[in-house]
Amino acid sequence: PVAKRAVAEAAQHNKVPHPVGFVPPPPPCPGKVRHFKI
Amino acid sequence: VPAAPPAPLGCDDPESEAAAEVAVGYINSHSHYGYKFALNRIENIRVIPQGLNNDVIFLELDLLETTCHILSPTPLENCTVRTFTDHAVEGDCDVKLQKVDGKFSVLASKCHSHADSSEDIIQLCPDCPLLANLNNTEVVTAVTAALSDYNSKTPDAYLKLLEIGRAKIQHHPAHIVFAEFAVAATNCSAQEAKDNAEACQLLPDDQSNFGFCKATQVISPSQELEVNCQLYGHQPGVTYSPPGTS
């Protein structure tokens, strides 16, 4: 567990930040509401 | 090297929307009472590959009631979705489809419908009338009076009640019953029905023999009744309002 945690933390530190203006894609589901949500 | 599996379908992908359109068409064409439903949202989609160009698709759909009765010949795309303040009714449907060579077919569907909570409507619109039970005494009385009034003033075929579609009752500032109901033509004229309405038989199923009526009955402070009926099919649209009513 110690080794795994270290790897995970290292991965977080090495994560490439998104460029400015990046819009994350919408989640695949649920889809858009066409009229209104009850 | 094996090909990577295709990315899962998103709910707003064109293929998902195409499947949902087929599903909604199936649901409406297999419903025999109430109103047509329109797609509001694709809640979820799962695709189970069965082989080359053959998938089974599971859809979860959120639908909303329109103003078009299920017997109305109006195409769904021309039907208006009821507004929230009209006390909307939602349909939750699970649909299983098969897609073979790009063509969808529905294998099974299961739907439940429920009205929005009265509390939510009141919060947004305190004076809006709320949906009433279809067997509510005031509703049944209003529909009976409205159809009787319509038949007594229309020389065409005597109309019989098929079903009450929805009804709302307003208590303030006036006591009013709003009802919508489907009707069917009988083999009697209005005059023949006066003698023995019970003997009048519904005509064979044909779209032209059906109609849809909207009635408003003011109970207090005054007493008024208004009914408008539209007959479907090849008969021209008939709109009727008794003289002397609002």
**If you average pLDDT over residues B125-149, what whole number do you get?**
95
- The closest CB to that of B11, out of A31, A36, A38, belongs to A31
A20 vs B80, residue with greater confidence: B80
Q: In this complex, do A30 and B11 lie within 8 Å of one another by their Cβ atoms?
A: yes
B8 to chain A: nearest residue by CA? A28
Q: In this complex, do B41 and A38 lie within 8 Å of one another by their Cβ atoms?
A: no
A27 to chain B: nearest residue by CA? B10
| In chain A, % of residues over pLDDT 70 | 55
CB B47 within 8 A of CB B57: yes
Q: In this complex, do A28 and B8 lie within 8 Å of one another by their Cβ atoms?
A: yes
- A28–B contact, CB cutoff 8 A: yes
Q: Considering only CB atoms, which chain A residues are within 8 Å of B39?
A: 34
Q: Considering only CB atoms, which chain A residues are within 8 Å of B41?
A: 30-34, 37
Q: For chains A and B, count residue pairs whose Cβ atoms are closer than 8 Å.
A: 51
pLDDT of B176 higher than 50 = yes
**For the segment A12-23, what is each residue's pLDDT rounded down to a tens digit?**
566 677 777 777
Q: In this complex, do A31 and B116 lie within 8 Å of one another by their Cβ atoms?
A: no
The pLDDT value given to residue B236: 43
Closest of B87, B80, B73 to residue B37, by C-alpha: B80
Phi/psi of residue B134, nearest 5 degrees: -70, -20
- The closest CB to that of A38, out of B11, B38, B90, belongs to B90
**For the segment B19-47, what is each residue's pLDDT rounded down to a tens digit?**
999 999 999 999 989 999 999 999 999 99
Closest of B134, B96, B138, B90 to residue B116, by C-alpha: B90
**For the segment B153-169, what is each residue's pLDDT rounded down to a tens digit?**
988 899 999 999 999 99
Phi/psi of residue A27, nearest 5 degrees: -60, 145
Is this complex's ipTM strictly greater than 0.85?
no
Write down the residue that tokens 């949902």 correspond to.
Answer: B20
pLDDT of B59 higher than 80 = yes
